[in-house]
Structure 1
Amino acid sequence: MNSSGHHHHSTGPGDSDGTDATSAATDPTFYRSPAQAIAAPRETLAYVVAFDRTAQRPDALTVVDLDPDSDSYGTVVGWEDMPGTGDELHHFGWNACSSAFMHEGHDMTGLSRRYLLLPGLRSSNVHVADTHPDPRNPRVVKTITAEELAEKAGYSRPHTLHCGPDGVYLSCLGTASGDGGPGGIAVLDHSTFDVLGKWETDRGPQHLAYDAWWHLRHNALVTSEWGTPAMVEHGIVGEQLLNQEYGHALHFWDLAAGKHLQRVELGAEHQMALELRPAHDPEATWGLVDAVISTEDLSASIFHWHRTEAGDWTAEKVISIPAEPLEAEKLPEFLRPFGAVPPLVTDISLSVDDRWLYVSCWGTGELKQYDVSDPAHPRETGSVRLGGIGDRAAHPSAPDTWLGGGPQMVETSRDGTRIYVTNSLYGAWDDQLYPHGIGAWMAKIDADTDTGGLTIDEDFFLDQEDFRGLRVHQIRLQGGDASSDSYCYRT
């Protein structure tokens, strides 16, 4: 079933109570334009997923106080355990967001940014948490089971989701059976959370899956590539990496038809093309994606994709971050033959005004800031270090404590001045690259958005005690953040 088959909001402007999409009933956190999102009140809460690597205890959705005027600033103020164990909560997101303005003319009453959908990357269950009536106390109200996902969409290992105008698009790494591909996208109803079906009608050459996002006003969907469940669930498979078998291409699709249009090769040496960050400007047709590691020199890269005048798509490397030499005895076994630490760019975040790009170098423990006003020619403007395979750089609030992991999941506030990071990548990969233990931490970095520059906030730091020994992954900010909304109108 493709997206044109499930426009389930059948009420027209004259139906229901006559409320149209622009009325006061519209969720105030649905923003018509990027500028409106930037101008909205700042976030006071973060939702952060935490998982138990041993699968003995339930994973949790935690709530962190981000209000600097609050007595509980920088602490965990809410906690909801998942119903079972072994989910490995990873990426998660809202049931609805600013993309709802693509409904103009439909009845949007009752549709709000209320539910967080929490995919279990290992269990293939998707838990639904209600953040109302008390945003500090979200409660799991439903679970979409692995069986339903498999039966209705044919997929497993749900990874990333984005709220679209006609449903929730849930990108999955594997098929329903076994641990192979092709991975792809399941569509869920954003009110009932029923699995509506498989999104693709013609997948063409696409086999590997990872992220999926879009240029909504241009009827274009983009997907990236990681690996099949078998290639990722037990750590990086060295042989497959050196054979360049992980993903190294982007795919462009007809959003309404679910049809594959074009595969754009990044170069086979650029292994693992992960996070898609399309421009927030709804008229733009460009975006940025990270390639985690080069098999030629261990560098990491950022590619800029854009639509050409001829109407097709292309991508060029615009940032290259080199590996850092390190003595073999300080390296995890996996990296000893190379004598260097790869940056391992595992997440990137593009500010809502499309000016600043934040790049997590999880291997070297660095968070970088680039000015991408001209996305074809980024300019590095800031850097801080926390953790890292070689440095294990301490946080200023605890200068004697070495940190495991590095800046990994990165999220940017809507106004662009606050950057939040956590340190876990994925259970099996954490253990492989940080064999001495990764712990758990969350930090805040303040960004200079006039001329560039980053500063670690010394007063904001949570560690594994705060998260009760669980590892932490993605962050979502109350009211939306830089990577959870698609805007429909230009400023």
Structure 2
Amino acid sequence: MIDPTFYRHAAEAVAAPPEELAFVVAYDPEFKKNDAVFVVDLDPKSTTYGRVVGKVEVPAGQELHHFGWNACSSAFKHEGHNMENLERRYLIVPGLRSSNIFIIDTKPDPRKPKIVKVIPAKELSDKAGYSRPHTIHCGPNGIFMTCLGGPDGNADGQTGIALLNHDTFEVIGKWETNHGPQRQSYDAWWHMNKNTLISSEWAPPSLIENGLNAAALMENKYGKQVHFWDLAKGTHVQAIDVDEGDQMVLEVRPTHDPEATWGFFGVTLSTKDLSGSIYYWCEGDNGKWKAEKVIKIPAEPVDDPNKLPPIIRPFGAIPPLVTDIDLSVDDKFLYVSCWGTGELKQYDVRDPAHPVQTGSIRLGGIGNHTAHPAEPDKPIAGAVQMVEVSRDGRRAYFTGSLYSTWDDQFYPEGMGSWMVKVNINPEGGMEIDRDFFPRGDEFDGLRVHQIRLQGGDASTDSYCWSSPPVQAKI
């Protein structure tokens, strides 16, 4: 029997039963408490709705960050899989600061996950030549894991993508056979049917781990390219530069329709005007890839710059700081997290070259710390950051922490510990769910980062076939 959470196309995923649990990573920035993967009840009919109902701890000091599944819907086109035994079962959870990787089993009881294997940082360095594991995608020939750092002893050296064995989770080695001009890493995803992988850039570890380096930013030392690769061969094909001054090319979100050849990537900041932006990429007429800026989000002025944290006080404005984006499974809406201003924006992208804003909510933010409706008189520490959209596109969930040292720079008064649910109108628009607000002691006071939804979500799966056309009702 094939795992029922493997979907042949996006419409099948949209029609599947809604998620009932979320897996959420959290960490202690002071390295005193253990980091953890929490299990949160998402079922509104449950007596424990909106509560933490399980967890598994890992040793302190890992700084658990992005994580992903061992297998997903893309498995239908991966060679060498026995589909009858393959399950979306294991979470691959990297420690971004430690470079250790934890394999966590969510079966037989997803409320009682357990660690079944630990891949030490030395194995990743020795076999792949990388460190600082970041983003996980189940893919052809192995589990793909982008890494922000080079080998042990040369963290700012060549970065790239490591491959893990699908079954044993051992490190196979590096994926690339030719890096071309690529030197920095962050995210990676693909147009599988086009044999193309797309990757992005943040910065080398020396410009990340101690916080944002303002001098290096002004010298344009943060990531400013997106890269296109031959997926089967691991060879670099093309690099595209973003506009002058734009830096930190982070999340890449290709269309979920495998026959389409477009997508979006977010850029955190422009040194010209503090704006954030979204670029649209597509295949050009000459067989080359092209990208253009289609959304620009301006900085917000403030009356009293002295109230700003020191890192942005000289500019006298609050940058949006685009740190995460998510494309709904039906490729209809793009969601953009503005971690500086505390805004989550929704855009209709059915015409992807011309996005139209259709919704906005605010929570937290450097300027006003907008409160949650469940506690309208209590300002929120932190802001909208990592966002995850349900398969059916009716709900989104988000958390507030970016990375410990960056949190402390932009939110020196504290970050908070919370998770938020957003209810989405299928025609556009959204609002915060006032009845869902796990926080504080629910997460042991740890800073909460990324979310994965049981059965998959909008940033988990690649689908192998296009959705069938919608039949008109007679």
- TM-score under structure 2 length normalisation: 0.97
Percent identity, please.
60
8 Å contact from structure 2 (residues 336, 344) kept in 1: yes
Please give the alpha-carbon distance, in whole angstroms, between the structure 2 residues aligned to 1:290 and 1:103.
29
Counterpart residue number, 1:369: 346
Q: Report the CA distance shift for 1:401/1:204 in structure 2 as closer, same or farther (over 3 A).
A: same
What SS does the corresponding residue of 2:438 show, helix, strand or coil?
strand
1:259 alignment partner AA: T
**Aligned residue identity for 2:362:** R
The DSSP-based 3-state class of the residue aligned with 2:25 is: strand
1:172 counterpart = 2:147: yes
Please state whether the residue corresponding to 1:230 is helix, strand or coil: helix
Match of 1:185 among 138, 161, 166: 161
1:216 aligns with 2:192: yes
Consecutive unaligned residues in structure 1, runs of 5 or more? 1-24
The equivalent position to 2:383 in structure 1, one of 396, 406, 414, is: 406
> How big is each residue's C-alpha offset from its partner over 1:454-491, in whole Å with a ceiling of 9 and x where there is no partner?
11101011212211110000000000000000000111
Determine whether 1:257 maps to 2:240: no
Which residue identity is paired with 2:26?
A
Q: Please say if 1:205 is aligned against 2:188.
A: no
**Partner of residue 259, structure 2:** 283
CA deviation digits over 1:294-340, x for unaligned, max 9?
00000000000111121111100000000001121220001110000
**Corresponding residue for 1:332?**
309
Moved more, 219-228 or 325-334: 325-334
Partner of residue 90, structure 1? 65
Q: Could you tell me how far apart the structure 1 residues matched to 2:81 and 2:31 are?
A: 43
Partner of 2:118: 143
Question: Quick check: 1:173–1:181 contact (8 Å CA) kept in 2?
Answer: no
Aligned amino acid, residue 124 of structure 2 = L
Spell out the pairing of 1:70-469 with structure 2 (5 A cutoff). Answer: 70-82=46-58, 84-103=59-78, 107-176=82-151, 177-326=153-302, 327-450=304-427, 452-469=428-445
Equivalent residues of 2:150, 2:156 under 8 A apart = yes
Taking structure 1 as the reference length, the TM-score comes to: 0.94
Give the distance between the partners of 1:62 and 1:165, measured in 2 at CA: 29
CA apart distance, 1:105: 8.2
Preserved CA contact (<8 Å) 1:101 1:165: no
Q: Structure 1 stretches (4+) deviating beyond 2 angstroms? A: 103-107
Q: CA deviation at 1:104?
A: 6.8
Instruction: State the match for 2:470 in structure 1.
Output: none
Question: Secondary structure in 2 aligned to 1:263?
Answer: strand
Where do 1:16-35 residues align within 5 Å? Answer: 25-35=1-11
Instruction: Give CA deviations for 1:342-395 in whole Å, capped at 9, x if unaligned.
Output: 000100010000000111000000011000001100000000110000010000
Structure 2 letter corresponding to 1:133: P
Deviations 1:375-419 (A, max 9, x none): 100000000110000010000000111111111000000000101
3-state DSSP class of the match of 2:311? helix
User: Which of these residues, 58, 61, 67, is aligned with residue 37 of structure 2?
Assistant: 61
Q: Structure 1, residues 56-106: CA drift from partner, whole Å, max 9, x if none?
A: 121000000000000000000011101x22110000000000010003785
CA RMSD of aligned residues (A): 0.9
Question: For the Cα contact (< 8 Å) 1:464–1:471, is it kept in 2?
Answer: no
Kindly state the Cα deviation for residue 441 of structure 1 after the two structures are TM-superposed: 1.1
Instruction: Look up the match of 2:472.
Output: none
1:240 Cα offset (Å): 0.7
C-alpha distance in 1 between matches for 2:449 and 2:313: 27
Q: Distance in 2 between matches of 1:197 and 1:323?
A: 42
Cα distance in structure 2, aligned partners of 1:336 and 1:329: 7
Distance in 2 (CA, whole Å) between partners of 1:374 and 1:198 is 37
Q: Structure 1, residues 233-268: CA drift from partner, whole Å, max 9, x if none?
A: 000000011111100110000000000000011123
Give 2:50's aligned amino acid: G
Aligned to 2:443, what secondary structure does the other structure show? coil
Q: Deviations over 1:152-173 (max 9, x none)?
A: 0000000111011321100000
Q: Contact (CA 8 Å) 2:62, 2:99: kept in 1 or not?
A: yes
Q: Report the Cα distance in structure 2 between the residues aligned to 1:103 and 1:437, rounded to whole angstroms.
A: 44
Instruction: For 1:417, give the aligned amino acid.
Output: R
